[in-house]
Structure 1
Amino acid sequence: MIDVSGKWALITGASRGIGRLIALEMAKRGCNLVLHSRRLSHCSSLLEQVQRLGVQAYAVEAELSDLDAVEDMMTRIDRTGTSLDIVFNNAGVQVAYRSAFLETPSEDYIKSFAINTIAPMRICYHVLPGMVDQGFGRIINTTSGIALDPQQAGYSASKAALDKVTVDLGSKYDGTNVILSLADPGWCRTDLGGPNAPNPPESALPGVLIGAFVDDRRSGRLFAAPHFSGMTLEHAVQQAETSCVVPYDR
């Protein structure tokens, strides 16, 4: 299990929900943070919290449906001189629940793919060369276990696409110290999951953190947070390294 103290992590969607929990846990372990939200003001209280924990941190803003804004955000991070070691592509959107699913509009797919698939992959493509050059990197893309739900087709399809491109891209880095993983938080009571979800956001820990701490040079795995709920992070990482299957090993 790696030590993240002194490293830099970008967390998208950091201002609330699971993203906020990730930020606080990483800060407690000494990791410096770049906190993303749609508006800088959304992260102001979190920024103060993590800085009080003794780490360096700053906020960036970008509307992830605007892919030019995503590229601009990454350029601004580069200009600070920050070398990102870890990326949590946590932000996502569930645009609508369509009871009349045969009337699902194209816009559901367009917005879902922009935010849930294309934006995180543009971030991946931007940071990977630097991670390779420095000989270390961890990318954790947040997916979903949603299935058999055509009422949320745009969301479901965009997450399935993210799974595919993450696994395929991860295969190119397997065996190196740049590790790409997927994390499924489970259905949690967040702004995205809604008030009727069965699980509190805290149940996603430590599962959503595992991909930042694994140290076995294997990429492409899915870490389903409910399987690790209640464990210490150390135990969860040990379990993940010994029992989670890499897709292209099959």
Structure 2
Amino acid sequence: MTTRDIALVTGGNRGIGREICRQLALQGLHVLLAARDEAQGAQAAEGIVRAGGTVTAVPLDVRDEASIQALAERVQREFGRLDVLVNNAAVLLHEGGNALTIPPAVYWESLETNFMGPLRLCQAFVPGMRERGSGRVVNVSSGAGQLSSMGGYAPAYSASKAALNALTRLVAHAGGPGVLVNSMDPGWVRTDMGGQGAPRSAGQGADTAVWLATLPPGGPTGGFFRDRQRVPW
């Protein structure tokens, strides 16, 4: 077992997820970099290790209950606990329509990754955090899921991120004292998903997630944040 905090970051092999892994590892956490593609995960982890961080690449498909269960068992066996869960893995599908014309299957596919995956991971790991009275959960959401400004952009993606924000509130209540659960909006970031025309770097996009993952006891919970500031739902 280890005395340093253990953090799991889903979708950690690229973009914002990889940068969250890098920043957490360089702050001294032992990061479990989760990716569907084991080779890509190992390559991303190797780069962070060379920079001085402690990272272990782990296989994970957030859409697969068996994959999540296998990882939960491995974490318990090798580390005895999980201190930080960052639900970053997500899909933004080519939707090609509006809310009335997009096929229901596209909504289901978006929800499976962007909502059901985080739900399953919370159910796997938050009970242990609750029992210990300590833990951090960060849901990487989006301004697209913000009801206060929602329009017609990417309806399936937007709906899935709004659902993720609702999950944040629910898990914050269920986690009990000491388990801080928050959503964050990274903004429009230069990644494979955001494109090279986006104004923000991966480092900027990851900053608020890292801040929430390392909150001190008594920090905020059940909130939605952008650039370390609480924003409306």
TM-score range, shorter chain: 0.7 to 0.9
Aligned mates of 1:86, 1:95 — CA distance in 2: 28
Post-superposition Cα deviations, 1:66-101, rounded to whole Å, max 9, x if no partner, equal 333333332333332341100111111011131465
Aligned mates of 2:115, 2:126 — CA distance in 1: 16
Judged with a 3 Å threshold, the aligned counterparts in structure 2 of structure 1 residues 149 and 197 are, in CA distance, closer, same or farther, namely farther
Show the counterpart of 2:209.
208
Are 1:166 and 1:181, in contact at CA under 8 Å, matched by a contact in 2?
yes
Is structure 2 residue 117 aligned with structure 1 residue 127?
no
Is structure 2 residue 61 aligned with structure 1 residue 63?
yes
Could you say what secondary structure the match of 2:191 adopts?
Answer: coil
Show the counterpart of 1:8.
6
Aligned mates of 2:231, 2:40 — CA distance in 1: 37
Post-superposition Cα deviations, 1:39-67, rounded to whole Å, max 9, x if no partner, equal 11112222223333554432111222333
Are 1:67 and 1:114, in contact at CA under 8 Å, matched by a contact in 2?
no
Show the counterpart of 1:166.
168
Task: Give the 4+ runs in structure 1 shifted more than 3 A.
Answer: 52-56, 99-102, 147-151, 244-247
Aligned mates of 1:27, 1:217 — CA distance in 2: 21
Are 2:22 and 2:53, in contact at CA under 8 Å, matched by a contact in 1?
no
Percent identity (aligned): 31
Residue of 18, 28, 33 corresponding to 2:31: 33
Length, aligned pairs only: 226
Post-superposition Cα deviations, 1:90-114, rounded to whole Å, max 9, x if no partner, equal 1110111314653201111111111
TM-score (norm 2): 0.86
Aligned mates of 1:100, 1:89 — CA distance in 2: 27
Greater CA drift, 186-195 or 95-104: 95-104
Residue of 132, 138, 141 corresponding to 1:140: 138
Are 1:97 and 1:152, in contact at CA under 8 Å, matched by a contact in 2?
yes
Judged with a 3 Å threshold, the aligned counterparts in structure 2 of structure 1 residues 76 and 53 are, in CA distance, closer, same or farther, namely same
Show the counterpart of 1:75.
73
Amino acid at match of 1:152: A
Are 1:8 and 1:82, in contact at CA under 8 Å, matched by a contact in 2?
no
Could you say what secondary structure the match of 1:58 adopts?
Answer: strand
CA RMSD of aligned residues (A): 2.3
Show the counterpart of 2:187.
186
Aligned mates of 1:89, 1:81 — CA distance in 2: 19
Are 1:27 and 1:53, in contact at CA under 8 Å, matched by a contact in 2?
no
Amino acid at match of 1:43: G
Are 1:98 and 1:151, in contact at CA under 8 Å, matched by a contact in 2?
no
Aligned mates of 1:153, 1:246 — CA distance in 2: 19
Aligned mates of 1:143, 1:172 — CA distance in 2: 19
Could you say what secondary structure the match of 1:103 adopts?
Answer: coil
Are 1:178 and 1:217, in contact at CA under 8 Å, matched by a contact in 2?
no
Judged with a 3 Å threshold, the aligned counterparts in structure 2 of structure 1 residues 213 and 28 are, in CA distance, closer, same or farther, namely same
Could you say what secondary structure the match of 1:97 adopts?
Answer: coil
Could you say what secondary structure the match of 1:102 adopts?
Answer: coil
Q: CA shift at 1:151, angstroms?
A: 4.8
Residue of 18, 24, 28 corresponding to 1:20: 18
**Structure 2 residue ranges without an equivalent (≥5):** none
Residue of 212, 220, 223 corresponding to 1:221: 223
TM-score (norm 1): 0.81
Aligned mates of 2:150, 2:125 — CA distance in 1: 34
Aligned mates of 1:110, 1:64 — CA distance in 2: 14
